Homo-oligomer: A and B are copies of this chain.
């Protein structure tokens, strides 16, 4: 293992695995701090390749490419959690990796994630392990319906999910996922959705942003509004949930916790994202230190920045062909486009942040 210098000084290189818009915005935040970045992605033409001269194109399982990448970097992080565990272990052999392999292992599997959150004494939706058609039927009978069958791994934006209203539907949905391990989740009755984006330094320091209210359409985030309908007390409770989780994971970096907010004010943990999060994009304009800079600071071992919000704000995603209206979108707010060539349906092409003036 090389002699790791922490904090990584200006001029050092942060490796970012994943070349999408999150990697792109992380690289731009690193540049502001005088840090260089190298992006590792499994396909060329990645959005993040447009904002740094250094990148690697190789499969995420390529041991040699990972080793060479690690050798170029002073610290490594990820823009997404669905990486093979052995790839992370390979990187961690030779370079500081944040968040660590443990945090990724827990959060990339819905069953281990939910079990972990439940053990911390935090509210989660009722859930059952589903590894066979028989278990699928039994789980539905146990939880009652309607419920949602979800693959344990590799789901995002509603992919790998099916709503089921009977034991037979539940078994059929399991078959459709081709034997992938699943969990069945009971429905949570909620008034609205929210999230909390927070950072923990490797030294235990902690900084949470104000929790936005989130609106989803077709399982894709449509908008985040701050302040939303969360009361200040609920906001504090949400931040405390994020801290409990981050401390228990001995986390370094930014994480997001998606929450269901009940009509009775209760907060139920939906899922944890061990990375910067779409519902935190508004921090670029509304806070002195954005979630992207905050993550880079935590990964590089720098002091965390201020998460104080200095404006009310709404962030709206630009999805698919909506990006064609870029000229109009540029009139109304801070426009972010991710450099993606093809505007496929459901694809996140950019976002607009509007500060209330």
Contact = CB atoms under 8 A, between A and B. Distances in A.
A339 interface: yes
A334 B310 contact: no
A355 B286 CA distance: 11
Question: What's the number of copies of this chain in the assembled complex?
Answer: 2
B339 A34 contact: yes
Contact of A36 (B33, B297, B339, B357): B339
A326 B28 contact: no
A84 interface: no
Interface in A289-348: 289, 293, 297, 302-303, 305-306, 308, 310-311, 323, 326-327, 330-331, 333-339, 341
Contacts of A11: 339, 341
B326 A289 contact: no
Given A11-B341, A336-B32, A288 B288 contact: no
B327 A31 contact: no
A10 B326 contact: yes
A75 to B, nearest CB: 15
A305 B333 CA distance: 7
Interface stretch (A45-53, A87-95, A231-239, A266-274): A45-53
Contacts of A331: 303
B50 A50 contact: no
Most B CB contacts (10 A, CB to CB) among A24, A28, A32 go to A32
Contact of A350 (B34, B36, B52): B34
A9 interface: yes
A227 interface: no
Interface of A: 7, 9-11, 24, 28, 31-34, 36, 49-53, 55, 285, 288-289, 293, 297, 302-303, 305-306, 308, 310-311, 323, 326-327, 330-331, 333-339, 341, 350, 353-355, 357
